[in-house]
Amino acid sequence: MHLHCLVVLVLCWYWPGLTSSTLTPNFFCSILGEPKVLLSNGPILSSNFSYPVTIATDVFFQTPFQLSSTVQITALVMFARQNNVSLTVRAALYNAASVLIAQTATITVSAVELSNVHINPWTLPFDEPVNLTAGVSYSVAYWYAGSSNDGAGYVALFATSPANSTWLIPANNFTTVNGSFPSLLAAPYTFGAGTAAPFIQLIGSPCTNTVSASNIHLNETILSISQRIQNKYSDIPAIGASIIQMPTLQSYTGAQSPAHVICPFIPVSTVVAGVRRADAVTPEVVTVGDKWHLGSDTKSMTAILIQMLIQANKLNLTTTVGDVFPYLPFSPTSTPPSTSCICANFSNVAGYFAKSPYSCGLTMHISWKYVTVAHLLTHASGIEALDTAFLPEHYAEESALEINGSKESCSNYSLPSRRYHLSLLLSMTIPSPPPSINVPVASSYSNNNFILLGLILEEIWSLPWESIIQQQLFDPLGMITAGFGSPTEQVPLNSFATQPFGHYEDAAGILHSTDADNFKAWGPAGTVHASLNDWAKFVACHLQEGRDLMPFGFAPINSSFLNSTTSPYLLSPYMWQNIHTQYVFPLSSTPNSQDSLSGMISNRDNLGLSLWHTGSNTLWYAYVVVYPRLIQPMALLITTNVANDDAVWETKAGIINIYLAWQEQGQPPEIVTSTAASYAIISFEPILVLICIHLVR
């Protein structure tokens, strides 16, 4: 078995039924007169030509724009610049969450050369009129093919001057004439100095009167989105989604946070749809209390435990692996553990791992000398190169140790496979290790970073990682459904399943349920399961960032971790905010990657700072995104009991869009957590997949 990361690349757009029924603007627009130019990013090109008067002359499309009044857009006009071949062109509008809300028809135009005396604009009509409201940020992008990029398609934002252009590279090049936009914009990328971008105009009419559409019923709409995702991707037995907000003065009336939680939150909506097992004789319907495997979303829990130790001065970011295991000498050669030790050799040794037979005679390779806690948290340790050094016989031994179920001799440690894994890892040579404790290597994702962080927790706490996370997170946070591995054990297909199962497809495209999971040894990197509501109790701490909620009537409940009385919300506000930013190593000037010290990816989209992560053991899929700096901080959690990243990303885009529209309506006062579920019989289309167990970032 091979440790690696499945990178999520494909971002797809919705099918027509979804766009028309769930993502339309939440008002009706009355207009008078012929459409005209409402907005333009085009300066005066020459003394011979000027653009019509615009709503906001200082707004450019490289950054999101806002309108001063509600309008109805019917077309987008582009003024070509320096193109000497035919082009196939399409344009699109994105909302504040970088979610695609409308795209134009595709047109093919002949060669055009822009000059001061000849203007030949291209008009791209939208598929249907698009209503844009005031005070909301929008972005424009275009897609083209057939020019100097050799037919490959690019999505681009427009520049503030002809000499500069910011380009957005989609997951795949849209080489077909009718290629669609991605549902989310990718990260900005400078295409090249001197690259000219076209000026554009939005054509439409101001709304003379707007009539609010019927109130959005969030649960019902999210359920509809989930069921449509299931209809599109016929291999998804069940899907769940939950939206939470942090209590603020802007919280909607009547909302109540769950009682006795460390990090209070408002459960805005929780919806599930589908069945626990696709192949059961009588498929069992999922419920909102069901447990879901979270995969690599476990990593943030391990990271927060590390941060709690740092706050308690038990660790720091520059603590090295050698500092944690001082009884393991460094060696220029790889020295695996000896088999000659007897229990008497460990009777008086200091150190949790030191009492293990796997520490007997073990030396740490010198390449580990400068690997620190910060390197491990941000995947900047270089140990991803060791993933391929784990051979089939190593995994076979780990599996045999776990199947055997016996505790470790001498120490009575409950999971010998984890210490066996550690002994292999530390004796290996890191090909390109960090040159100092303050310098990273190129960031590269590896589960071994967090397996090792879990063992560091064990060494300091003198307990298995499972006991630590139970005592210091699950119990204080009230995560009563949280556990490890598959949420349930395999039962006959004609028996009742009390919890969902993971699923995989065979070569014939038939779905099969299974209780398989990664090795227990990998727990700190990704074996936690929990219900959506219990997972939200942990995510809420990220959302809250240690803010004082006393003014809103939420008294803090101190964690018992290290008998702390100074951090009622697990960590101090300073700690939370510090670990949510992209980490810069002391001798670096810029972040090494988007990895934060919180076990989450720190990014910034049009809604502001976002923290996100995904997790999968190839049988499940979990996704979380947290927006802690919004006026109304919110988070979205999505789960499926099959590994389908496309479906999860589409679900995320649809839910974020409808959530924004719901917010614009002023948040209806009574939102009750939904127990609605889909009773539809799920059909399956053949899709060939490679079945292997790994974790997904």
pLDDT digits (tens, 9 = 90+) for 119-175: 567 788 887 888 887 666 677 776 655 444 443 444 443 322 223 333 333 333 333
Q: Is residue 378 part of a domain?
A: yes
Q: Is residue 129 part of a domain?
A: no
Reading the block at residue 310, the tokens are 């740092």
Chosen domain end from 110, 130, 160 = 110
Asked whether the beta carbons of 529 and 233 are under 8 A apart, the reply is: no
* Distance of alpha carbon 516 from alpha carbon 618, whole angstroms: 10
Element (H, E) at 523: helix 523-526
What mean pLDDT do residues 384-398 have? Answer: 92
Place 87 in a pLDDT band, splitting at 50, 70 and 90: low
Q: Supply the DSSP symbol for 441.
A: P
* Distance of alpha carbon 98 from alpha carbon 89, whole angstroms: 20
Element (H, E) at 232: helix 218-232
Place 262 in a pLDDT band, splitting at 50, 70 and 90: confident
Closest CA to 467 of 418, 426, 517: 418
Q: Is residue 256 part of a domain?
A: no
What mean pLDDT do residues 184-204 have? Answer: 49
The total of structural domains in the chain comes to 2
pLDDT in tens, 517-544: 999 999 999 999 999 999 999 999 999 8
Closest CA to 557 of 536, 574, 541: 541
∠ CA 472-475-477, nearest 5°, is 85
What mean pLDDT do residues 506-520 have? Answer: 94
Element (H, E) at 301: helix 298-311
35: containing domain = 1-16+23-43+52-110
Closest CA to 142 of 205, 97, 191: 191
* Distance of alpha carbon 491 from alpha carbon 514, whole angstroms: 9
Asked whether the beta carbons of 262 and 541 are under 8 A apart, the reply is: yes
- Please tell me the predicted confidence (pLDDT) of residue 86: 61
What mean pLDDT do residues 259-281 have? Answer: 89
- Please tell me the predicted confidence (pLDDT) of residue 691: 29
- Please tell me the predicted confidence (pLDDT) of residue 108: 73
- Please tell me the predicted confidence (pLDDT) of residue 349: 86
Closest CA to 561 of 459, 461, 464, 482: 461
84 vs 42, 163, 178, 193, 335, CA distance in Å? Answer: 21, 17, 21, 19, 65
Q: Is residue 249 part of a domain?
A: no
Chosen domain end from 73, 88, 110 = 110
| Greatest mean pLDDT among 5-19, 94-108, 111-125, 273-287 | 273-287
pLDDT at 1 over 60: no
- Please tell me the predicted confidence (pLDDT) of residue 25: 41
3-class SS of residue 332: coil
Contacts (Cβ under 8 Å, ≥6 apart) of 178: 106
More confidently predicted of 682 and 372: 372
What mean pLDDT do residues 282-297 have? Answer: 96
- Please tell me the predicted confidence (pLDDT) of residue 161: 29
Contacts (Cβ under 8 Å, ≥6 apart) of 563: none
- Please tell me the predicted confidence (pLDDT) of residue 511: 95
Reading the block at residue 380, the tokens are 């900047």
Place 247 in a pLDDT band, splitting at 50, 70 and 90: confident
Closest CA to 597 of 605, 585, 589: 585
- Please tell me the predicted confidence (pLDDT) of residue 370: 97
User: Residue 255 carries which side chain, given as an amino acid letter?
Assistant: A
Residue 614 CB burial class (10 angstroms; 0-12, 13-18, ≥19): buried
- Please tell me the predicted confidence (pLDDT) of residue 123: 83
- Please tell me the predicted confidence (pLDDT) of residue 212: 56
Q: Is residue 470 part of a domain?
A: yes
Q: Is residue 291 part of a domain?
A: yes
Q: Is residue 337 part of a domain?
A: yes
- Please tell me the predicted confidence (pLDDT) of residue 211: 56
Q: Is residue 234 part of a domain?
A: no
For residue 412, count other CB atoms closer than 10 A to its CB: 8
Contacts (Cβ under 8 Å, ≥6 apart) of 23: 14, 101, 654, 657, 658
Q: Looking at 280-294, 309-323, 510-524, 661-675, which range is the least confident one?
A: 661-675
